[in-house]
Amino acid sequence: MTGGDLVADVLVKQGVPYLFTLCGGHISPILVSAKQRGIRVIDVRDEATAAFAADATSRLTGGVGVAAVTAGPGVTNTITAIKNAQLAQSPMVLLGGATATILKGRGSLQDIDQMSLFEPHVKWLGSCEKVRELVPALEQAFEEARHGVPGPVFLECPVDLLYEERLVRDLYDVDKTPRSLPEKGLQWYLKRHLNKLFAGAGKTRAESPPSFVPVIATRGERRRTAAAIRKAQRPILLVGSQAMLHAERADQIAAAVDRLGLPVYLSGMARGLLGQAHPRHMRHNRRVALKEADLVMLAGVPNDLRLDYGRHIRRGAKVISVNLSDHDLTKNRRPSIGMLADPGRLLEDLAGEMGDSGGRWSDWLETLRQRDAEREQDIAQRAAQETEYLNPLYLCREIDKALDDDSVLVADGGDFVGTASYTVRPRGPLRWLDPGVFGTLGVGGGFALGAKLTRPSAEVWLLYGDGSSAYSLAEFDTCVRHGLPIIAVIGNDAGWTQIAREQVEILGDDCGTVLNANDYHIVAEGYGGKGFKVDRPEDVPGVLAEAKEIARAGTPVLINALLGKTDFRKGSISM
Ligand SMILES: Cc1ncc(C[n+]2csc(CCOP(=O)(O)OP(=O)(O)O)c2C)c(N)n1
Ligand SMILES: [Mg+2]
The pLDDT tens digits along the chain (575 residues) read 999 999 999 999 999 999 999 999 999 999 999 999 999 999 999 999 999 999 999 999 999 999 999 999 999 999 999 999 999 999 999 999 999 998 888 877 888 899 999 999 999 999 999 999 999 999 999 999 999 999 999 999 999 999 999 999 988 888 878 888 888 888 889 999 999 999 999 888 999 998 888 899 999 999 999 999 999 999 999 999 999 999 999 999 999 999 999 999 999 999 999 999 999 999 999 999 999 999 999 999 999 888 989 889 999 999 999 999 999 999 999 999 999 999 999 999 999 988 777 778 999 999 999 999 999 999 999 999 988 899 999 999 999 999 999 999 999 999 999 999 999 999 999 999 999 888 999 999 999 999 999 999 999 999 999 999 999 999 999 999 999 999 999 999 999 999 999 999 999 999 999 999 999 999 999 999 999 999 999 999 999 999 999 999 999 999 999 996 665 544 443 33
Give the Cα separation of 522 and 516 in Å (integer): 14
| For the CA of 80, the nearest ligand | 1
Alpha-carbon span 530 to 548, nearest angstrom: 11
Q: Which ligand is nearest to the CA of 574?
A: 1
Q: How does DSSP classify residue 412?
A: E
Q: How far is the CA of 548 from the centre of ligand 2 (A)?
A: 24
Q: What is the pLDDT of residue 37?
A: 98
Task: Using the mean position of ligand 1's atoms as its centre, give its distance from the Cα of residue 500 in Å.
Answer: 10
Ligand 2 centroid to Cα of residue 412, in Å, is 11
- Which ligand 1 atom sits nearest the alpha carbon of residue 414? 19
State the closest ligand 1 atom to the C-alpha of 392, by its place in the atom list counted from 1: 21
Q: Measure the CA–CA gap between 428 and 552, rounded to whole angstroms.
A: 20
In 3-state terms, what secondary structure has residue 393? helix
Integer Cα distance of 452 and 256 in angstroms: 28
pLDDT score recorded for residue 568: 55
CA–centroid distance for 237 within its chain: 23
Long-range contacts (CB closer than 8 Å, 24 or more residues apart) made by 538-543: 540/390, 540/394, 540/395, 540/398, 541/398, 541/401, 541/402
Neighbours of 499 (CB within 10 A): 15
- Which protein residue has the closest C-alpha to ligand 1 atom 16? 467
Pocket test for ligand 1, best of 464, 496, 504 (most atoms within 8 A of CB): 496
For ligand 1, atom 1, the nearest C-alpha belongs to: 441
Q: Residue 271 — φ and ψ, nearest 5°?
A: -55, 140
Tell me, in angstroms, the distance from the centre of ligand 1 to residue 463's CA.
13
Give the ligand with the smallest distance to the CA of 473: 1
Q: Which of 393, 419, 468 to mutate to test the pocket of ligand 1 (most atoms within 8 A of CB)?
A: 468
Give the atom of ligand 1 at the shortest distance from the alpha carbon of 412.
Answer: 15
Look at ligand 1, atom 3, and give the residue with the nearest C-alpha.
441
- Closest of 412, 446, 409, 449 to residue 431, by C-alpha: 409
User: Which residues place a Cβ less than 5 A from the ion ligand 2?
Assistant: 465-467, 493, 497
**Residues flanking ligand 1, CB < 6 Å:** 413-416, 439-442, 465-468, 491, 493, 495-499
Quickly count: other Cβ atoms within 10 Å of residue 260's Cβ: 24
- Report the candidate in 251, 75, 266, 204 with the shortest Cα–Cα distance to residue 152: 75
Q: Which atom of ligand 1 is nearest to the CA of 418?
A: 21
Find the distance separating the first CA and the last CA of the chain, reported in whole Å: 59
From 79, 440, 499, 511, mutation site for ligand 1 pocket: most ligand atoms within 8 A of C-beta:
499
Q: Residue of the nearest CA to atom 9 in ligand 1?
A: 414
Q: How far apart are CA 225 and CA 229, in angstroms?
A: 6
Which ligand has the nearest atom to the CA of 469?
A: 1
Sign of CA dihedral 225, 227, 229, 231: negative
Structural Rg of the chain based on CA atoms: 26
Mutate to test the pocket of ligand 1, among 393, 498, 510 (most ligand atoms within 8 A of CB): 498
> Which ligand has the minimum distance to the alpha carbon of residue 413?
1
Model-level pTM greater than 0.85? yes
Q: Is 307 exposed, middle or buried (0-12, 13-18, 19+ CB in 10 A)?
A: buried
Q: How far is the CA of 471 from the centre of ligand 2 (A)?
A: 13
Distance 493 CA to ligand 2 centre (A): 5
* Region for residue 334 given its phi and psi (left: phi exceeds 0; alpha: psi -120 to 50; beta: otherwise): beta
Nearest CA-CA partner of 155 in 139, 170, 173, 167: 139
